[in-house]
Amino acid sequence: MALKIYNTASRQKEDFAPQNPPVVTMYNCGPTVYDFFHIGNARNFVVVDTVRRYLRHRGFQVRFAQNFTDIDDKIIRRASETGEAWDALAQRFIGEYFKAADALGIERADIHPRATDHIPQMITLAERLIARGSAYERGGDVYYRVRSFNGYGELSGRDINDLLEGARVEVGEQKDDPLDFALWKASKPGEPSWPSPWGPGRPGWHIECSAMCMSHLGETIDIHSGGSDLVFPHHENERAQSMGATGKPFVSYWLHNGFLTINTEKMSKSLGNFSTINEALEKFPAAAVRFYLLSAHYRHPLDYSLEALEEAQSAVGRLRDAVVTAEKLFGSRQADATPAASDEIAGIDTAFTKAMDDDFNTQKAIGVIFEAVSILNEKRQQLACATDGGGGAAAAMAAAGLIGLIRRMLGILGLDALIFTQADASESAKLADQLIGLLIRARTLARENKQFKISDFIRDELDAIGIRLQDHPSGTIWLRNESKE
């Protein structure tokens, strides 16, 4: 079955055929770094990470860029409110993005271009548009001439005449047409600026992504992604100015994820109904948050609630318990067993691939994983009932194959390491704390019973592994001895 992607531009699913297979060029609109990103933004980052992982699984070599918008009206406004330098504010929230993204298992892009590192490319792009008659300068501002591009409105499905009714000219703008948008903005007092042929200023939002995308991936790319709220005007304008400058198609497949909603209303900072990703990760494991964000088809709305995250946490727990239990029960048998390539396992693998090939349907793919878990639990029951006339060995071989397949499918969704590795590390740390506490209580009991050899033995052995005890009137505490290996 061919991989199909829903293309926003054509409003239908299309067979995926990159320009230069097996290479796939892919660009995602990254965060404007003036605040912690909210969980609605996280949906885009997780979805795009999963798409990239699946394309790699299908044998493609993905060259992926995701930008940082590090100069923008919002950044300037927030810096003014906090008294922080605008570039220090942006740098701080770039760091916060990576912290949260790493926690969610989102792989770093091949390239994370920053807008402020591409000012020359933006100026060059604006100059190309002026030379082609698609842009013009007025009082130090440069505007894109929307009516110069015949295909304007095709991506978002909007009629240019309808757009004109709602268009307006802001105070200080000298547009020839209300529909035109800024490529370059003349500097205002106190704002950051860069030199340009039209005087000091800074780029408009839309030209930033066009310049960064074309600089790193080429004038025509395979996939451009973002949230549904970016279709208009951002991506419509990106498309118009890019094609206006090059005369070439800009993007083959436009991929947009649906909104995260709260009580069916779009989550957004402007509406004040958002929850940051940090708040979600403080309350729930990263595996549960990522699972929740993939639990619906990426193009469909997903309603946010604590109950939904609790359900995701419960589902992740069932997955983990089933796999870990099977690994422990079948452990010694798996050592001598070759994972069985049975029709049953092949059928599950095919069903998973069919779901993901159908426009990255993670909701169906997760359903397939749970079907595999049900079969794995059946194999466990078969082993429990086997007297072993061969039944136990067959069940162990089948289980080995299922465990491997389940973990591979979870890995494609970016969940395997979050469910097992991170959970194991967290649980191991918790267990270590509990065991040290138990030893401290045993030592206290030994001292109360004047069994000082035992109490000293516990203290010395803990010290040997880097745990130093301190006795206080209120009780004994422990510290890590950093000098110990």
pLDDT value, residue 346: 92
Evaluate if residue 217 carries a pLDDT over 60.
yes
Distance, in Å, from the CA atom of 44 to the CA atom of 299, rounded to the nearest integer, reads: 10
Query: Which amino acid belongs to residue 77?
Result: R
Model's pTM, two decimal places? 0.86
The DSSP element (H or E) to which 128 belongs, if any, is helix 119-131
Q: pLDDT tens digits, residue range 94-128?
A: 999 999 999 999 999 999 999 999 999 999 999 99
> Do 256 and 228 meet the contact criterion of CB atoms below 8 Å apart?
yes
Confidence of residue 178 (pLDDT cuts 50, 70, 90): very high
pLDDT confidence of residue 48: 98
- In 258-397, at which residue ranges do the beta strands (DSSP E only) sit? 260-262, 265-266, 302-303
DSSP 60-122: -EEEEEE-BB-SSHHHHHHHHHHT--HHHHHHHHHHHHHHHHHHTTPPPPSB--BGGG-HHHH
> Residues 158-174: what's their mean pLDDT?
75
Residue 460, both tokens: 């010395």
What confidence tens digit (pLDDT) does each residue in 127-138 have? 999 999 999 999
Give the SS3 label for residue 393.
helix
Q: Where are the beta strands (DSSP E) in 228-323?
A: 251-257, 260-262, 265-266, 302-303
Q: What is the pLDDT of residue 331?
A: 58
Cα of 10 vs its chain's centroid, Å: 25
Q: Look at residues 136, 247, 232, 219 and name the one whose alpha carbon lies nearest to residue 184.
A: 136
Tokens representing 275 are 């929850």
Give 383's contacts (C-beta < 8 A, 6+ positions apart).
Answer: 329, 330, 391, 392, 395, 396, 399
SS3 443: helix
pLDDT per residue over 376-420, tens digit each? 988 877 766 655 555 567 777 888 889 999 999 999 999 999 998
State pLDDT tens for residues 237-253: 999 999 999 999 999 99
> Is the pLDDT at 483 greater than 50, yes or no?
no
- Which CA distances in Å does 126 have to 27, 72, 145, 241? 21, 18, 11, 9
SS3 content of the chain, % helix, strand, coil (to 5): 55, 15, 30
Average model confidence (pLDDT) for the chain? 90
| Identity of the amino acid at 194 | W
CB-based contacts of 15: which residues, under 8 Å, 6+ apart? 2, 3, 4
For 451, phi then psi, to 5°, come to -95, 70
Adjacent-strand bridge partners of 73: none
Residue 70 pLDDT > 90, yes or no?
Answer: yes
Q: Which residues are CB-contacts of 129 (< 8 A; sequence separation ≥ 6)?
A: 135, 144, 183, 241, 244, 245
Q: Please name the residue ranges forming H helices in 301-342.
A: 306-335
What b/e string do you get for 217-252 counting C-beta neighbours within 10 Å, with b at 16 or more? bebbbbbbbbbeebbebbbbbbbbbbbbbbeeebbb
Domains with residue ranges and CATH for the chain = 4-132+204-286 (3.40.50.620), 305-414 (1.20.120.640), 425-480 (no CATH)
Predicted confidence band of residue 482 (pLDDT cuts 50, 70, 90): very low
| β-bridge partners, 89 | none
Confidence class for position 269, pLDDT limits 50, 70, 90: low
Ranking 286-295, 311-320, 423-432 by mean pLDDT, the lowest is 423-432
